[in-house]
Structure 1
Amino acid sequence: MPKVGMREVRRAQLIDATLHTIDEAGLSGTTLALVAQRANISTGIVSHYFGDKNGLIEATMRHVLRDLWAATARRRAAAKPDPRSRLRAVVAANFDVSQISAPVMKTWLAFWSQSMHEPSLKRLQHVNTRRLYSNLCAEFGKAMPRAAARRSASGLAAMIDGLWLRGALSGEPFDTKAAIRLANDYIDLLLAQHA
């Protein structure tokens, strides 16, 4: 009889192994066998919990996205109630420590690429994109007309993604403070136009 709670322990162990395998071997080089070997368990157990590689990648991205959503909720809750502070909280969450380790960054890059071909990953990407846009739009909407809020939300979302992507691809340590500063300057410019 399996131990109580073992399922969640195994899933977490396999997700961690997946992140590190993608970091070292890339998505194309990641196999159930490599993940199992890294986790020191049988390939059959990986298949039991996730079915196939796509199921494993989807579960791994759901884990990464939960970390992002938790960071966003935590930072928004701690922010002052004004739009500037709450927008800055959303920006900071996207550059949270949970999102910038090498294994997570490489997994994000692999996810974005694979989401163009895999419907379940495309749905996850769509949910993530809509959630970011919705959060930004709601805050900008408190300071400017609806059409301007939508444009501002689209622009800031693109800036966040662009700064994150440049940081991920630079090959150097990610200067998150500089990225956050640039995004915050952009927020200030947008809000100043509607003050």
Structure 2
Amino acid sequence: MREIRRAQLIDATLHTIDQSGLAGATLASVAQRASISTGIVSHYFGDKDGLLEATMRHVLRSLWQGTSRRRKAAKADPRAKLRAVVAANFDVEQVNGPVMKTWLAFWSESMHKPELRRLQRVNTRRLHSNLCADFSRALTKPAARRAASGLAALIDGLWLRGALAGEPFDTKAALRLAYDYIDLVLDARG
């Protein structure tokens, strides 16, 4: 029951942030959306910061699982592995309205809250590590690090622009631009 309740509250948090923003996502509003008492939310998460942290851990876990699944399914060549990482970052689970707005709230709050900052650092390092490992299979280590930094910045920039556009995320355009970058970098080595 505990895990079911936690999942229900995380879902309610995502949708409350989507509808009301982070400021409107109080323990009471999340509890109301989940049709439970505020005391139960406090019991599971402590306070609003704990609720946001748990919600972001859920979103980050989903991203990590999607990335792992796509990388395992991809062909063994660097281009396919890199494209798998990109595709996971633009998966529907990461670019739907509630998750996008929660990511934006998380990024903003991570500048002020050490535990959220730590989660953001872990996510940034994981992305860079995956990209660097795959670029390293085709480039020198310094070139792979530069290419990984560039692709990570491109992923974040495309994602941020898409999130702020005020219209449905154009996944195909984002993928096309990121894939073009991969092709340019890998084709330039030859």
Q: TM-score range by the shorter chain?
A: over 0.9
Amino acid at match of 1:109: L
Q: 1:140 maps to which residue?
A: 135
Aligned counterpart, 1:167? 162
CA distance in 2, matches of 1:16, 1:64: 10
Paired residues, what number? 190
Distance 1:89 1:111 in 2: 24
Report the Cα distance in structure 2 between the residues aligned to 1:97 and 1:30, rounded to whole angstroms.
23
Aligned to 1:56: 51
Counterparts in 2 of 1:1-195, with a 5 A limit? 6-195=1-190
| Matched residue SS, 1:41 | coil
| TM-score, scaled relative to structure 2 | 0.99
Percent of aligned pairs with the same residue?
77
The amino acid that maps onto 1:22 is I
TM-score, normalised to structure 1's length? 0.97
Match of 1:150, as an amino acid? R
Cα deviation digits, residues 165-194 of structure 1 (max 9, x gap) = 111010111110110010000000000111
CA RMSD between the two structures: 0.5
Deviation at 1:132, TM superposition (A): 0.1
Q: How far apart, in 1, do the equivalents of 2:91 and 2:147 lie? A: 22
Q: CA deviation at 1:155?
A: 0.2
For residues 44 and 174 of structure 1, what CA distance do their matches in structure 2 show? 36
Cα offsets for 1:86-108 (capped at 9, x unmatched): 00000000001110110000000
Cα distance between partner residues in 2 of 1:172 and 1:32:
29
The gaps in structure 1 that reach 5 residues or longer are: 1-5
Report the AA paired with residue 93 of structure 1.
Answer: A
SS in 2 for 1:49: helix
Listed one character per residue, the Cα deviations across residues 134-187 of structure 1 (whole Å, up to 9, x for unaligned) are: 000000000010000000000000000000011101011111011001000000
Structure 2: where are the runs of 5+ without partners?
none
In structure 1, C-alpha distance between the alignment counterparts of 2:94 and 2:130, rounded to whole Å: 18
